[in-house]
Amino acid sequence: MPHGTALLQAERQAVVDACHRLAGEGLLIGTAGNVSVRAGEHVAVTATGVVLGRVTPADVTVVDLAGSVVAGELAPTSELELHLGIYRRWNAGAVVHTHSPQATAISLVLDELPCVHYQQLLLGGAVRVAPFAVFGSDELAEHVWTALDGKSAALLANHGAVVHGPTLPAAVDNALLLEWACELYRNAAAIGAPRVLDEGQQAAVVEAALRRGYGRTHRIEEDL
In tens, the pLDDT along 148-166 reads 999 999 999 999 999 999 9
Choosing from 11, 73, 79, 112, the catalytic residue is 79
Q: What is the pLDDT of residues 174-224, one digit of tens each?
A: 999 999 999 999 999 999 999 999 999 999 999 998 887 766 665 766 443
- Quickly state the pLDDT bin for 4 (edges 50, 70, 90): low
Res 145 pLDDT > 50: yes
Structure pTM?
A: 0.92
Write out the H or E segment, with its range, that includes residue 179.
helix 168-189
Name the β-bridge partners of 98: 33, 161
- Percent composition of the chain: helix, strand, coil (DSSP 3-state, to 5): 40, 20, 40
What percent of the chain has a predicted confidence (pLDDT) above 90? 90
The pLDDT, as a whole number, for residue 212 is 78
User: Which domains, from first to last, does the chain contain?
Assistant: 9-212 (3.40.225.10)
Active site residue 139: no
Handedness of CA 176, 135, 83, 13 (dihedral sign): positive
- The answer to whether 175 touches 163, Cβ cutoff 8 Å, is yes
Report the chain's mean pLDDT, rounded to a whole number: 94
Q: What is the pLDDT of residues 101-112, one digit of tens each?
A: 999 999 999 999
Rounded CA-CA distance 51/30 in Å is 5
